[in-house]
Amino acid sequence: MATKAIPRGYVPLEGSERHPSPSATRVGPADPAEILSVTIVLRRRPDSAPLPDPHAFLAVPPAQRQRMSSEEFARLYGASPQDVDEVRNFATAQGLTVVESNTARRTVVVRGTVAQMSKAFGVDLARYEHNIKLRSKGEPEREIYRGRDGHIYIPSSLQGIVVGLFGLDNRRIGGRNDAEPPNTTALDIPTVAKLYNYPTNSAAGQTIGIFSESGYNSADITTFFKSLPAGFTAPTLNDIPPGTNSGSDPLGETTQDIDIAAAFAPGAAINIYISAGDQMGWVNTIGRVAHPEPGDSPCSVLSSSWFIADGDDAASLSGGVTDAFITAVSNAFQDAAIQGVTVCIATGDRGTDSNVGDGKVHVQYPASDPWVLAVGGTTIGNVAGTSFDEYVWNDPDASGLIHSGDSQTARSSSSSRYESRHYRERHARRPPST
């Protein structure tokens, strides 16, 4: 590994330490002329208003929660203009181009070459090759990524101002939950809705967000809604930049998520947020959900089948993401909650072991984040009229039965809330704003 001289007056950025994946091989230095963008996340303003805790939301029904303007949010909970100016001035002095700054999101996006970024942040950027598995049942895929080994460094004058810096390392993280329990039979959405006494009123005027890392098949969506009974119509689909629909989703996970959301909420528009799947992609996407661009239709619910890590303890997270990233993305989830967005993320298809293999109980992150609603865990069986049984998702037999009833007494056990002890301990030592 090449060593990088740390500029005088620089300090390690707390929480930025990151290493190549265990299976990675360094194949050479990054092209010094390659142009890249990075997102710098800043602290909340020092005079920030007190942040609501999760229990505060119980006092205000969802229908009464009001989204703040970006200006109001920035004034209460955003970055201070002085902090933004300090970061912008530093970037400009390093020859980097400031692409944008957003005080509500607390971000400054800068662009430059690998050589400029390496000098500005005291890193040695290289190309690495490794295999990653993005699907529960998929085969490992080869990825060549731009990465680093060790800390990011910043001027001591920015210490405490900068929470994290994302985009230098562009490896993909996490994966998606797309497995199905064995011995199950497909049920159509109208049937499931009736079993759970799901409301039949129109959702017109509402917007649902779908977060994904792959495209969708618009023709399949049209065909699906034509197959449903009268009254179901294909939704309006809004692709939210910078992601675009590539249609590259052979297993149909994103298409399925759109179909299900739109069928359960007829008339709602669907925003599709397609992320690159690296740390910067997650931070940028959740930031845009919480603080939309002018012209975006804000969503009130965000749903995703993708996850970041199979567990939320130090060992599970250390393999692919940084502490600073967890802080930044959790803060973005908190922003979304303050802005009235319910973020729903799958808990996993792999049981309480969560595919970690150490014999202990784990909860996928970010389903375990205090600002996320963890969803999943059950499947329906033995449907007879209005009667049905619920089974644990990965154990669909009699031993996994958790509920038996009919549509008059059914309670949905498919949404659950977790706050992992590991996660609480991990974040109790520092406030959310740092």
Whether residue 105 is contained in a domain is answered as yes
Which residue carries 């528009």 as its tokens? 269
Which residue carries 């957003």 as its tokens? 102
Residues 166, 105: Cα–Cα separation, whole Å: 14
For residues 274-292, one letter each, b for 16 or more C-beta atoms within 10 angstroms of the residue's C-beta and e for the rest, the string is: bbbbbbbbbbbbbbbbbbb
What is the model's pLDDT at position 323? 95
Sign of CA dihedral 228, 233, 234, 237: negative
171, 187, 212 - which closes a domain = 171
What is the model's pLDDT at position 412? 34
Residues 226, 52: Cα–Cα separation, whole Å: 44
CATH number at residue 197: 3.40.50.200
Amino acid (one-letter) located at 251: L
What is the model's pLDDT at position 183? 67
Tell me, yes or no, whether 258 and 334 share the same domain.
yes
Residues 196, 173: Cα–Cα separation, whole Å: 35
Tell me, yes or no, whether 101 and 209 share the same domain.
no
171, 198, 219 - which closes a domain = 171
Residues 45, 84: Cα–Cα separation, whole Å: 10
Question: pLDDT of the chain along its 434 residues, tens only?
Answer: 555 678 899 999 999 999 998 889 999 999 999 999 999 999 999 999 999 988 888 888 877 888 999 999 999 999 999 999 999 999 999 999 999 999 999 999 999 999 999 999 999 999 999 988 766 566 778 899 999 999 999 999 999 999 999 999 999 998 888 777 766 778 888 899 999 999 988 999 999 999 999 899 999 999 999 999 887 889 999 999 887 777 666 568 899 999 999 999 999 999 999 998 999 999 999 999 999 999 999 999 999 999 999 888 887 786 689 999 999 999 999 999 999 999 999 988 777 778 777 888 888 999 999 999 999 877 888 888 889 888 877 654 545 555 555 554 443 333 322 222 222 333 333 333 32
Tell me, yes or no, whether 152 and 191 share the same domain.
no
> Using CB atoms within 10 A of its CB, is residue 113 exposed (0-12), middle (13-18) or buried (19+)?
middle
153, 171, 189 - which closes a domain = 171
Amino acid (one-letter) located at 36: L
Tell me, yes or no, whether 229 and 272 share the same domain.
yes
Tell me, yes or no, whether 234 and 114 share the same domain.
no
Whether residue 358 is contained in a domain is answered as yes
- The token duo for 224 is 């699906």
Q: Which domain holds residue 282?
A: 176-428
Tell me, yes or no, whether 141 and 243 share the same domain.
no
Q: Are 310 and 362 in contact (CB under 8 A)?
A: yes
Residues 114, 193: Cα–Cα separation, whole Å: 52
What is the model's pLDDT at position 263? 95
What is the model's pLDDT at position 411? 36
* Closest listed residue to residue 192, CA positions, set 259, 250, 267, 272: 259
Model pTM score: 0.88
Whether residue 70 is contained in a domain is answered as no
* SS3 labels along the chain: CCCCCCCCCEEECCCCCECCCCCCEEEEECCCCCEEEEEEEECCCCCCCCCCCHHHHHHCCHHHCCCCCHHHHHHHHCCCHHHHHHHHHHHHHCCCEEEEEECCCCEEEEEEEHHHHHHHHCCCCEEEEEEECCECCCCCEEEEEEECCECCEEEHHHCCCEEEEECCCCCCCCEECCCCCCCCCCCCHHHHHHHCCCCCCCCCCCEEEEEECCCCCHHHHHHHHHCCCCCCCCCCEEEECCCCCCCCCCCCHHHHHHHHHHHHCCCCEEEEEECCCCHHHHHHHHHHHHCCCCCCCCCCEEEECEECECCCCHHHHCCCCCHHHHHHHHHHHHHHHHCCCEEEEECCCCCCCCCCCCCCCCCCECCCCCCCEEECCEEEEEEECCEEEEEECCCCCHHHEEEEEECCCCCCCCECCCCCHHHHHHHHCCCCCC
* Closest listed residue to residue 272, CA positions, set 366, 335, 207: 207
Whether residue 58 is contained in a domain is answered as no
Contacts of 31 by beta carbon, 8 Å cutoff, 6+ apart? 114
* Closest listed residue to residue 176, CA positions, set 416, 349, 420: 349
Tell me, yes or no, whether 353 and 282 share the same domain.
yes
Whether residue 209 is contained in a domain is answered as yes
Residues 395, 204: Cα–Cα separation, whole Å: 37
Residues 52, 123: Cα–Cα separation, whole Å: 37
Tell me, yes or no, whether 256 and 303 share the same domain.
yes
Tell me, yes or no, whether 161 and 187 share the same domain.
no
- The token duo for 294 is 């002018």
Tell me, yes or no, whether 197 and 238 share the same domain.
yes
Residues 329, 61: Cα–Cα separation, whole Å: 25
Whether residue 68 is contained in a domain is answered as no
Residues 59, 53: Cα–Cα separation, whole Å: 11
Tell me, yes or no, whether 146 and 131 share the same domain.
yes
Q: Is it true that the peptide bond before 242 is cis, omega within 30 degrees of 0?
A: yes
What is the model's pLDDT at position 17? 95
Whether residue 241 is contained in a domain is answered as yes
Tell me, yes or no, whether 286 and 365 share the same domain.
yes
Number of compact structural domains in the chain: 2
Supply the Cα-derived Rg of the chain in whole angstroms.
22
Strands 207-212, 301-304: pairing kind: parallel
Whether residue 15 is contained in a domain is answered as yes
